[in-house]
Chains A and B, each alone.
Chain A
Amino acid sequence: MSVLTKNGGSRSEGWLLSTILIVAITLTLAPVLRLFVEGVTDQDAVGLSLAGEVLRQPSTLSALKHSLVTAGFGTLVSVVLGSAFAFLVALTDLRAKAALVFCLMIPMMIPPQITALSWTQIMGPSSVLLKTLGMAPPLGSPQPLYSAQGIILLLGIQHMSIIFLTLRAGLRAIPQEVVEAARISGARGLRTWWQVVMPLTLPSLAAGTAITFVTALGNFGIPAMLGIPAGYATLPTLVYQKLAGMGTSVLAEVSILAMLIGAVAVTGILTQRFFQSRQRVYLVGATSRPLAIPLGAARLPVEVLLWAVVYTILVLPMFGLLATSLVPAYGVPLRLDTVTLQAWTEVLLRQPVTTRAFANSFGLAIGAAAVLMLLCLPLAWLMERNPTRLSRLFDSLLDLPYALPGVVLSIAMILLLIKLPFTDATLYGTIWIIFFAYLARFFAVMFRPVQASLKQLDPAMGEAAQTVGASLFQRLRDVIVPLSAPAAAAGAILVFLTAFNELTVSALLWSSGTETLGVVIFNLDDSGETAMASALAMTIVLVVMALMVLVQLMSRRFPKGVVPWQT
């Protein structure tokens, strides 16, 4: 950490900082404020009568209960799976750790609606895979995933990577010497883990748990695909159903619901911050070598078990998806004489909506990555050099639009942009409302890696350039940008990946001609075109995997801590 000097700045820097900061605050925090204002006003007067009315509705209360139950137990599943993997990978002498970690990251990168779609293809009497194997359950058996338990299981799998990552980062901070000391004193494997490792990792586990809970709470894809057919609504799906069925007439009502989700989420975020701040246990010693407690004879069985879990949560559902995409009609078993590429050609080559959605998602993702890069690079650098009270405040709040559930942000965006101030124009129903929502949502995804890499830069570089008379623009162009480019590139790829697959925000903001890929998959499945939905989902999975491999190959050029699965 470099010590910052307040006198290193210049007037042009101060001016530029204020400008970009205003843009960034408008983007990220204005919608949240606008939503808050909507919640506490009632017909243009300050009042909570509408809020009270909405909060007393039975549908609200049951959705809140469902949200808490699914997010709570889903987090529990994530904690069990994620921490088991984290402890084994970080502490023992397993082989092929890198491959295992990479595979564990895939569920996090695959959009939840695709996770849900793929799992429904391998369970229940409808499973093409089970039918083909002749193992399908009897007629009239319910689809077991259309239930609270199904939502919990898939939320757990979807978010186990978050626990895995935070915990592994915590485990890596434990010096080898501590464990060695315990072992010299005669503690055996499990006891070392329980009495030495466990207490030291509790803060990171608690922080990871809180953030997982918030993420699960805001998840839309899984409860929408599994809950709506069962009539089981969570808060985000309730907002979606109200808005999709009634239009903007219920905007005030869904704003209250959005605030309710926001309130629960903020509690989670504050919990996470609290534990994050306790995490800095000052441990003496370098963390040069990762721990490798020998598993001995148990190593092979443990490895087999871990890979079997990976296979079950990753490979099997993908096979299910593939099988469904290759049959001519729903319910037909997949055999050599029934296999057809009909769904693939129809969805990829004939449906204009797919082409449109590819163009939209691609354009939005590239656009968001580019604009955020242009904003975040100078902003992060200037905030690093001239910390003001405002920029510190912004720094602590900029994660909000990303951490808050997507539904909350979408409603906030509609409120903000449905009637542009001073004009009659509206951005509701245009591609721009989705674009601005993406900028707000993914601001932190781009900003944090860039900030991390700039913190590692020696300020002397910029100062030297300043001494020889380089202007602000020249210093940015010739010194700062080249040095932080790898981090910015990684941030851009992450923004691209998440925006490309996004559903929660666009589900509420799409309109004719502005469909995103997430929306198209959801709508295809909704209208019974499961084979087409599966074919498109398979295509997207392949694109995501290709991008992840690309990041992996380029990862040696990025600073530490940029690639999420290589912390």
Chain B
Amino acid sequence: MKTILTTTAFALMASTALADTITLYTSQPNADAQQTVDAFKAANPDTDVEWVRDGTTKLMARLRAEIEAGNPQPDVLLIADTVTLEGMAQDGLLTAYQSPEAANYDSALYSADGFYHSTKLITTGIVYNTGIETAPTSWNDLSDAAVKGQVAMPSPLYSGAALIHLATLTGDDSLGWGYYEQLAENDARAQGGNGGTFKAVASGEKPYGMVVDFLAIRNKAEGSPVEFVFPSEGVSYVTEPVAIMSTAKNVEGAQKFVDFLLSAEGQDVVLEMGYIPARDGMGVPAGFPAREDIKLMDFDPATALKDAEANKAKFTELFGAE
């Protein structure tokens, strides 16, 4: 009896790959990933999606271990930033796919060879707890001695968006590495991902923070005591691209998934979840300024990829993080 139970339990556990299942690795928050998958399944009832969520860095480490072991799991990746995917494309780990939907996108938002396509715009700005006296308006307000020990930010060693944020701000003439040095002197805490940073701000443990826009704006709508600011210098941005692995077992299913995410229908889901859609002419979610009013800071993916390791090392040195 016991053994029968065990075997059935293991049979249940063994991921019996259906004829049409795609495996997705994503760094979206759990609830969003589920909503994305649900919408895709509603549009494609005969394709099933299995998905795994983790921070970009950890997810990539896991994927690298799988590749080394000769058994990469995912068909599709939907992760924070183009830099990571550009690196993977250069290593020959991605399949090129020219989605017909790409015609409705700014050419800066997808790889010319079709290795990856952006799905949304996620900017990083300033979040603050509504319990404070004066609202910050500029990045420099966070390095001000008056807020010493009151600032939280995600670690670039963990979050893809944070690494791009670091590359963007340090590449800015008026801010540069000097800005991060001031933050470190100001005891800004850089640990974990955006989720933990938002938590610290919403809870009032650290009243000021740098965080991705949707977390703050969405939770504010739910009643969290926070406000989000687009600083005067502009915001850094990532575009959450989707890509197909070169080792994908189900290429057709993966292409369907990419097409769906880029379609008007898929972009409506993005809007509904509270993100700025990447597709042209889609509008913005409630609580956001009009898209043309959002000032994006300059950012060069090629440079960011080249400097990624050096940036991480320099950051570790400044913030003494492991």
Contact = CB atoms under 8 A, between A and B. Distances in A.
Interface stretch (A92-100, A363-371, A543-551): A363-371
Contact of A247 (B64, B204, B223): B64
A527 B29 contact: yes
A124 B201 CA distance: 12
B52 A332 contact: no
Given A125-B203, A139-B204, A231 B191 contact: yes
Contacts of B193: 526-528
A338 B224 CA distance: 11
Interface string B69-94: 11101100000000000000000000
Contact of A331 (B6, B192, B204): B204
A418 B65 CA distance: 10
A330 B202 CA distance: 6
Contacts of B196: 229, 526, 528
Contacts of B267: none
B51 A331 contact: no
A375 interface: no
Contacts of B62: 244, 247, 511-512
A126 B202 contact: yes
Contacts of A431: 10, 13-14
Interface residues of B, number: 70
A426 B149 CA distance: 47
B191 A229 contact: yes
Contact of A140 (B14, B65, B194, B205): B205
B205 A143 contact: yes
Interface string A328-349: 1111100000100000001000
A124 B70 CA distance: 46
A228 B223 contact: no
A325 to B, nearest CB: 15
B247 to A, nearest CB: 14
Chain B CB count within 10 A is highest, among A231, A352, A373, A528, for A528
A524 B73 CA distance: 22
B145 interface: no
B191 A230 contact: yes
Nearest to B49: A352
A141 B224 CA distance: 18
Nearest to A512: B52
A431 B13 CA distance: 8
Given A124-B203, A231-B191, A523-B53, A244 B23 contact: no
A523 B54 contact: yes
B231 to A, nearest CB: 21
Interface string B188-224: 0101111111111011111100000001000100111
B321 A231 contact: yes
A429 B66 contact: yes
A353 B322 contact: no
A424 B71 CA distance: 11
Interface of A: 59, 124-126, 136, 138-143, 228-231, 233, 238, 241-249, 328-332, 338, 346, 350-353, 359-360, 362-363, 366-367, 370-371, 373, 418, 424, 426, 428-429, 431, 511-515, 523-524, 526-530, 532
9 contacts: A124-B203, A139-B129, A140-B207, A242-B322, A331-B219, A363-B9, A511-B62, A526-B196, A530-B199
Interface of B: 2-3, 5-6, 9-10, 12-15, 23, 25, 29-31, 34, 50-55, 57-58, 61-62, 64-66, 68-71, 73-74, 129, 131-132, 149-150, 157-158, 189, 191-200, 202-207, 215, 219, 222-226, 319-322
